[in-house]
Amino acid sequence: MAKINTFKLFIEYEGTRFHGWQVQRNIKTIQGTLFDAIKQASGLDNFELYGSGRTDKGVHALEQIAHLRAPLYMPPDILRMKINDLLPADICVKLIQKESEAFHARKSAVARSYVYQIAQRRTAFGKPFVWWVKDSLNVAKMQEAASFLAGTHDFVNLSDKDTGDESSIVKVYHAGIFVEGSMIMFRICAQHFLWKMVRKTIAALVEVGRNNISPAEFSAILTKSRTSRKVEISAPPSGLFLEKVFYKQSEIVESIPRSFIPVD
């Protein structure tokens, strides 16, 4: 029986044209497109391709991680070049590494970080990568509210997922609002994320910036019971990027994000 090898794939993509990461029948997805390219590049019909987590329709990734398990002996660099030759321009495999059999893209991860871009002016270049908020935002209040995110909280009011028996408790390692020119950047690193958690958090922070919610009220959303006010609105997916997936606690560090489009 052929030996099964495990490969770790580092992937970047622009999610605008895709219905998220996870493969779906008759719908264009990142995983499905990648699967087809690997199938053609390797000549294999049966292999396992698993991502570190789902991203929604229109969400981007600076560095999504996936594992490929297959009876494949091709050198990682050759495999990467063959796959990229078959991928559309908005998906790129940046690196492939051999991994141990125990490695699992999702189960081995200890944390993930996301970045969100809010444009304070109309931009000719960045529409697919920002949320343009026309209102003037109070950034200081947004920063104060974001400071409450660090720690362990119940995000049931800041997610769309009906968790059922699954806990909605999430440990956030750090989160912050930063300004670069006309761009407001939000970065959050957490142990895991619930469905639409980042987009609802951003929507709530923008309401803080609009002076519709106070920082204290934002804090209460994190600390009140499941019967408290739920955030119903979500920020658009265009400004959201999966930034990094961490596999060691020692890798988790705070950093100030930089905009991916020209800013003033």
Q: In this predicted structure, what is the pLDDT of residue 164?
A: 55
- Range(s) of the chain covered by CATH 3.30.70.580: 5-99
> What is the bridge-based pairing of β-strands 131-132 and 111-119?
parallel
Low-confidence ranges of the chain (pLDDT < 50): 227
**How many angstroms separate the CA atoms of 21 and 242, rounded?**
11
- Range(s) of the chain covered by CATH 3.30.70.660: 111-251
**How many angstroms separate the CA atoms of 68 and 242, rounded?**
20
**How many angstroms separate the CA atoms of 170 and 72, rounded?**
37
Query: What architecture is the 5-99 domain classified under in CATH?
Result: 2-Layer Sandwich (3.30)
Query: Phi/psi zone of residue 67: left (φ > 0), alpha (ψ -120 to 50 degrees), beta?
Result: beta
CATH topology of domain 111-251: Alpha-Beta Plaits (3.30.70)
Q: What global pTM score does this model have?
A: 0.94
Residue numbers annotated as active site: 56
pLDDT in tens, 54-91: 999 999 999 999 999 999 999 999 999 999 999 999 99
Q: In this predicted structure, what is the pLDDT of residue 1?
A: 61
Q: In this predicted structure, what is the pLDDT of residue 260?
A: 84
